[in-house]
Structure 1
Amino acid sequence: MNNLLTLEEVKSFLESDQRELEEYIKQGKLRAFKIGGSFIRFRKEEVLTLRHEILPRKGKHASLRPSFFSRIYDFWLFNNFYIISLMIVVALALLVLRS
């Protein structure tokens, strides 16, 4: 099991930006490891500990379940081509059937 997280994963998990992560590293709250000289990784246990310190207590599944509108928006983003195509086909079929 991989216990190291990438920079993007940590930013997303802590809901922080690059500047805030640099501050946590400077303050010693989070240790960063370089792998291959350029890729920064963080230990999952340290990130979990820091998350409990900086983020307020939330419900057990509060961040895991997206809102209804978020789900509708995602559905539209992934299926808009098919929805628009279906509307065009139906409109053309109605046009042909009326004439």
Structure 2
Amino acid sequence: MEKLWTTSEVAQFLGVTELDVEELVRQGKLTGYKLGGQFLRFRPGQVQALKGTVSFRPYVGRPAVERAGAWRQRMRDFLYFYDFYLVSAAFLAVLVIYLIAAG
């Protein structure tokens, strides 16, 4: 029995993203098999045949140099999404210190 490839293995072989592989399945250009109703697997022969017939835009990955100010935007996003937890943790820390000092 041949080993079936995972979505990430197919993406690496074709030089595309995993989302592109899932799009090929939705378009019907590639047949995917679900294992356990959840995990997509592919026959290597079908993937190799597809590589010769379909052209893909090259996947270049993440840029090596982030744009200026990207860390500032990432910090702003972090504080936006986790502000409640940060304020709660600070409040609990002050409360614990107060209880220890008072008691």
TM-score by length of 1: 0.49
**If you compute each CA radius of gyration, which structure gives the higher value, 1 or 2?**
2
TM-score by length of 2: 0.47
